[in-house]
Structure 1
Amino acid sequence: MGNTDKFEMIANQYDTPERAQIAKVSSDAIREYLVDANNKNAIDFGCGTGLVGMNLLNEFQSILFLDTSQNMIHQIKQKISGSNIQNADTLCFDFEKDHLSDLHTDYIFMAQVLLHIEDFQSVLSKLYDVLNPEGHLIIIDFNKNDEIVSDLVHSGFDQEMLSDTMLNIGYKNIQSKTFYKGSKIFMGHDASLFILDSQK
């Protein structure tokens, strides 16, 4: 899965009005779960072109934009330098293949990323290790939709099953809710997005 090759190809045309709109409602949803974040550091995990993280730069002390696609990282670097943003950095890295032992942060958020990760349990475990004690992992993704059949992505997630998986890894204080419904937003199908907040 991962789909890095696909994202390498579409990086230049990724920022459509539809994606920007979903990024805005996603960042607004994330904002509701932040606590004293202005002195905390965050990672926008699987950031793409940074559509979600760019909306949240004022909420954190700093944001690290992390993605497996070099072309996506190039796009976000251009945005950072073009807007003279001081509290952002970038990293091209693949948590499906590797481990970063020296990376630690207070918040990790990932918007529509988990569905692209084949062994998502393994990646959630690695992200748990990256979080500081009491740190938060916030996930935004599609609710499970059995109409989606694809070799490229998961067909969304059952919130309860995902919560159980995360509890087994060690996450605590897990809460989730559906916050957005849209027309043809998931592989051409109508779908809904949930947000899940968890803590180390």
Structure 2
Amino acid sequence: MKHFDEQAKDWDANPLKNERASVVAKEIDEFIHPNKTLNALEFGCGTGLLSFQLKEAFKSITLADNSEGMIQVLQEKIKESRLSHFKPLHIDLTTDKLESKAYDVVYTLMTMHHIPDTDHILKAFRDILKPDGYLCIADLVEEDGSFHAHQQHFNGHNGFNKNAFADQLSKYGFEVVYYKICFEMERNFDGNIRKYPLFLMICKKSAE
């Protein structure tokens, strides 16, 4: 987590990160039509860019991240904005647990590809979501590994294949109800511009 702790203070200064969060938030809002009776959780919230775009959408939002640096910046932002329904939480869902069936919506942006054991996290999402709850995952479309080539110790995933990911989600009771390529990122490798599309996949947890 040292990488993210070090970047936390300057995270919000990146216009691309702000634009990306805005686009994903709009897509989630338009599909789910959230309301003030719903409780949401953002997994891998960072400084809360996505949740701040959805701050009027839910009754409460728990913002969870395992980077202490990100949570510290987030806490200051929440204090300044006086958002009493925002609940920052320093937690590692790969090892820690949250209350069962506590949330109506779980959403995550550019976090899943950093998780080596996605099965464990998908099971955790299943456990904390209410029946018929929504899971919204925005992340990289499967790529050749160049996106994180500059990070020597990266041990996550090179994006996700749509069909393979949908099959994996189905094992945990999630049905894909929406899929869209919603954003595109660019990286410059010695003058060579590479483009990396971002998908939004919205799934519904089966009724129990």
Q: TM-score, with normalisation over the residues of structure 1?
A: 0.91
User: Is 1:172 equivalent to 2:175 in the alignment?
Assistant: yes
1:1-200 superposed matches below 5 A: 4-15=1-12, 16-102=14-100, 104-148=102-146, 150=149, 151-152=153-154, 153-184=156-187, 189-200=194-205
Percent identity over the alignment is: 28
Structure 2 CA distance, aligned partners of 1:20 and 1:123?
A: 25
> Structure 1 stretches (4+) deviating beyond 6 angstroms?
none
Greater Cα offset, 113-122 or 147-156: 147-156
Q: TM-score, with normalisation over the residues of structure 2?
A: 0.87
Structure 1 CA distance, aligned partners of 2:157 and 2:72?
A: 27
CA shift, 1:38, in A, is: 2.5
Taking only aligned residues, the RMSD between alpha carbons, in angstroms, comes to: 1.9
Structure 1 CA distance, aligned partners of 2:194 and 2:113?
A: 15
Query: Quick one: which amino acid aligns to residue 124 of structure 1?
Result: L
* 5+ residue gaps, structure 2: none
CA shift, 1:199, in A, is: 1.3
Structure 1 CA distance, aligned partners of 2:194 and 2:28?
A: 24
Instruction: Give the greater-gyration-radius structure (CA).
Output: 2
Contact 2:59/2:85 (8 A) holds in 1: yes
Contact 1:163/1:174 (8 A) holds in 2: no
How far does the alpha carbon of each residue in 1:115-165 deviate from its partner, in whole angstroms, 9 at most, with x for none? 110101111111110001111110000100125365513111011111100
Greater Cα offset, 174-183 or 45-54: 174-183
Structure 1 CA distance, aligned partners of 2:161 and 2:53?
A: 27
Structure 1 CA distance, aligned partners of 2:194 and 2:72?
A: 30
